[in-house]
Structure 1
Amino acid sequence: MRVPIKTKLYLGMIGLVLLYVGLVWLLNTQYLEKYYMSKKQDLLIHSSQIIDDLYKDDLGKIASTLAQLESDMSVSIRITGADGITKYSSIYRLINGKPFFPEATASPDQASRANVSSNYLKVDQSINDQFILEIQKDPILNRDYLVLERKLQNDDVLMLRIRLSSITESVAIANQFMGFTAIPVILLGCIWTVIFARRFTHPIIQLKEIAHSMANLDFRKKCQPQSNDEIADLADSINYLSDQLDLAIKELHLQNQRLTEDIQKKRQMEHLRKEFVSNVSHELKTPISLISGYAEGLKANVMEDETNKNFYCEVIMDEARKMDQTVKDLLNLAQLDSEYFRLNKTVFDIAALLQQVLYKYTAIFAEKSIQLSVAASNGLLVYADRGKIEQVIVNFINNALSHVNQDKIISLDLTPCGDKIRLSVMNSGSHIADDSLDKIWISFYRADQARPREDGRVGLGLAIVKAIQERHHNSFGAENLEQGVRFWIELDRAKFHTP
């Protein structure tokens, strides 16, 4: 059976209180009277020695001392001469002017000569070479006395007598008082035991609760010791252990989280690799099949007229051009992702570069009846890789030409934004789904899966834009507008960056 430590303290301390009370009562009952008797004997012997030292046959000089001894010790004193005549006595009293003494009916002188002490019953006697110490019982008064007799230096006899009934009564009163006080003492002891046990076990119970919390990986609870003892040291150790375990588990959790992220990244990279291989294979399969088919047709001389032969050659050349562009884009993207790639940053006028690129598209804009608008101020210097930023502009324009609707609106803007310059390209057309705004930057991703591949696009242009901007550590994005879709990038202003 499991007994709590609090109960053990209760029982142990209550047992100590009961043992103490019982032991005190036993000692009072069995030994207090003997101890008190021994002390009275020592006191009588000491008093007799004082009288012996002071008495020089002149009782008048020590009368006051004898009276003081009688008063202080409640003792009766009698001094008799060598002839048996009483010289001093506090035993006898006067009645009607005559001395009264219950020891005998004779006069004091006669009683002294007749050795009246022989009328007492001697209960116990102790004799040595200096004094006689005995317990006498008065048969008339039925009283017990402790009597000491000794011979003084002048051969007189000193007798000191004290009533033993007072000793017995004192012991009885003490035992009675002990009985009365035992109950409140036990009750107070029990109350104190409860208080002490609670104060003693409270930190232990608190430590137990903290240990249970630690077992459940909850390290928020801390023990606050109220004392400076071994329990406080144990509480500090438990708190320290809790902090260390909390730190270790947090670090372990962090390591597990990092490991999980690494595993997820590895799985994601593996998925991207497989998807990349699949997309590349798919994108190259079609032009290779077309080139192979038309080449076999030419070899077999399927078409005899020159016009059809030229058509076959144009298809082969066009598909070869598309395949070449795809391979170049893949190599470009791989180069940007390489850790060894370094940008060639210079300071240049972004507006001049924009006009230069737009000039190359003049014929295409005219052919497709594009309504072009450009908002750019000259002298906007940026610090970036000129060739890569030109590629970003080209990819944005190609993307706009591919998705512009029948409104044929394309607008380009250069806007200063603090230490950055934002370049944006907007085309009128259908909005991009919200869940695809972040996915369009992934290689081979197409927001419109139904769009045919005859436009020559394989979904690498925006992925290249993303890689270039990440190399420049600048932002990029896309957003739906009321008229269409706008793509944007940010560039570092040259006045904030030195080459």
Structure 2
Amino acid sequence: MFRSITNKLAFLTTVMVSSLLLLSMLFMTLYFETYYENVKRKALWENLVEFSEVTPRSPESFIGDITDYEAKNSARLFIYTRSGDLMYMSSKGGNVDENSIYILRSFFNDIALNEAVKDELYGTSGISREYVEETRGIKYFLSAVPVSVLAIDDSIAISISSMIPIRESAETIKQFFIYLFIGGLIVTAMISVVVSKMVTKPLRKLAKDASKLASLSFVERDTSKRSDEIGDLDRCLTSLSSNLQLALEDLKSKNLLLEEDLNRKDMLEDQRKNFIRDISHELKTPLALIQGYAEGILDGVVIDDSKEYLGIILDESRNMEALIRDMLELSYTESEAFSLNIMRFDLSKLITETESAFKGIRQDLTIESWIYPEVEIEADKEKMTIVLRNILKNALTYTGTNGKVAISLTDDESVMGPILKVTNSPAFISEEDLQNIWVQFFKKDKSRQRVKGSSGLGLSIVRNILDKHGFEYGIRNVTTLDGTKGIEFTVKFL
């Protein structure tokens, strides 16, 4: 039952209000009569003193004032001489009850027998006494003050009031308060339930929204228009939802970047391992040849063919030199120190010069070119020379017997600028190999035989240089006009 804040709030409110009503009832039962008597005595005394201060007055005025006093205070008022003779009473007549006569006699007996009482009466502003009627135990309150009638303080004004009306009023109020307590308890319980539901309804909504936030469900919320603390909490929850959604989206994007970095790290680690393996393989073969032929010469195995052995050793040394040069070039293009010396130069002329350097390398190949004249670009001329040489070398190396290499350079500045295409045929690369063509030491020849004389680093160097320039490039399988399958390398100098 008390797990619900609605029930808790209703219960606590009912208990608090009920406790307040109960305390009020206890006060009425135990102290109200005494409190009422004290208030009545004080009022009677103050009104009697005020009556005694009004002088001089005619007999008619005296009687009228006495009647007004009695009506106002629900008490009897008598004017006596100092000797105890009655001078004035109200216009109601002489109907004086026996208890009042008894009290008046007792009062005058106290004055006659006790000089201290007399001194207190005439020496100060007056006295107050409480008398109890012995037969029925009724309490009476008497107040007496000196009053001037014919001379200063020649008379005594005595007010007598019964406490019976006070007791009856107190008893009536006590009985009424019991019903008031029961009715108040019922009304309080009903109001507490209604109010608690009104208060907890928005709290239940906030709890529901908070539960959605806990499950990372960031749906749009209608912000409360309330201006109280619940409204402030609702707006804070809305702001929290928005901030958490942004933070989660940012975290997801960073996780994706982190995952990409980890994948890239794994890829680089694999490339590093492959690089070490490949470079070991590439160096192992020429070193073994050099070592074998050198030992043959030293051991005198060959005498007449020593020049041939030395020629093989020289060729392998040159291959190792070329490999090391390519490795240094690749390492440089991948380092932060790699920079470009941008200048404007004639690309058509550079392609023609590079093409001429490769003519005659393979007698069985035909090199055809369609070079658009005077095509100028802004790039690093030295680095672009390396790119062109590696592309042509790769095309010549991986073209079949009696094949053809076609070189074309077009220029359409209104569309996309100069485009270089180098196509060699017959040649073919599988789609899987096309994805790895830019990887270091990748060779189409899986057995890694050295019949082609390629280090496998040329296209990696080309990729780094073109990426640094920001040029677009690509390689694909094509079919030439004569129906032969070939490989086309494209560079867009945009």
Same fold per superposition (TM over 0.5): yes
Alignment of 1:37-116 (within 5 A): 37-56=37-56, 58-80=58-80, 84-85=85-86, 87-92=88-93, 101=95, 103=97
Letter of the structure 1 residue corresponding to residue 379 of structure 2: A
Task: Tell me which residue corresponds to 2:276.
Answer: 277
The count of aligned residue pairs is 452
Output the CA distance in 1 between the equivalents of 2:192 and 2:427.
86
Contact 2:145-2:158 within 8 A present in 1 as well: yes
Once the two structures are TM-superposed, the CA of residue 358 in structure 1 deviates from its matched residue by: 2.0
Letter of the structure 2 residue corresponding to residue 487 of structure 1: F
Contact 1:29-1:175 within 8 A present in 2 as well: yes
Q: 1:336 to 1:400 in 2, by over 3 A?
A: same
Q: 1:90 to 1:435 in 2, by over 3 A?
A: farther
> Residue deviations 1:8-45, cap 9 Å, x none?
98877665544433332222112211121122222222
% identity of equivalent residues: 24
> Residue deviations 1:166-216, cap 9 Å, x none?
21222122222322222344456567777679969x99xx89x989x99x9
Letter of the structure 1 residue corresponding to residue 22 of structure 2: G
Letter of the structure 2 residue corresponding to residue 390 of structure 1: T
2:389 to 391, 394, 398: 394
> Residue deviations 1:444-481, cap 9 Å, x none?
11244257421111211101212322443544333344
Coordinate RMSD, CA, aligned: 5.5
**TM-score, scaled relative to structure 1:** 0.68
**TM-score, scaled relative to structure 2:** 0.69
Q: Please, which runs of 5 or more residues in structure 1 have no aligned partner?
A: 93-98, 105-114, 493-499
Contact 2:25-2:181 within 8 A present in 1 as well: no
**Residue aligned with 1:477, SS:** strand
Output the CA distance in 2 between the equivalents of 1:117 and 1:285.
145
Contact 1:441-1:463 within 8 A present in 2 as well: yes
Task: Tell me which residue corresponds to 1:118.
Answer: 102
Task: Tell me which residue corresponds to 1:29.
Answer: 29
Q: 1:174 to 1:116 in 2, by over 3 A?
A: closer
Q: Please, which runs of 5 or more residues in structure 2 have no aligned partner?
A: 111-116, 481-485
Contact 2:366-2:405 within 8 A present in 1 as well: no
Q: 1:72 to 1:293 in 2, by over 3 A?
A: same
Task: Tell me which residue corresponds to 1:133.
Answer: 129
1:355 to 352, 357, 368: 352
**Residue aligned with 1:89, SS:** coil
Q: Which deviates the most, 294-303 or 35-44?
A: 294-303
Task: Tell me which residue corresponds to 2:489.
Answer: 487
> Residue deviations 1:26-85, cap 9 Å, x none?
221122111211222222222222322225351323555444333333333344566735
Alignment of 1:334-353 (within 5 A): 334-353=331-350
Once the two structures are TM-superposed, the CA of residue 116 in structure 1 deviates from its matched residue by: 7.5
Task: Tell me which residue corresponds to 1:496.
Answer: none
Q: 1:297 to 1:56 in 2, by over 3 A?
A: closer
Q: 1:443 to 1:34 in 2, by over 3 A?
A: same
Once the two structures are TM-superposed, the CA of residue 346 in structure 1 deviates from its matched residue by: 2.9
Output the CA distance in 2 between the equivalents of 1:404 and 1:69.
138
Output the CA distance in 2 between the equivalents of 1:449 and 1:415.
38
**Residue aligned with 1:68, SS:** helix
Q: 1:145 to 1:288 in 2, by over 3 A?
A: closer
**Residue aligned with 1:437, SS:** helix
Once the two structures are TM-superposed, the CA of residue 329 in structure 1 deviates from its matched residue by: 1.8
> Residue deviations 1:274-294, cap 9 Å, x none?
433332232233334445555
Output the CA distance in 1 between the equivalents of 2:106 and 2:398.
141
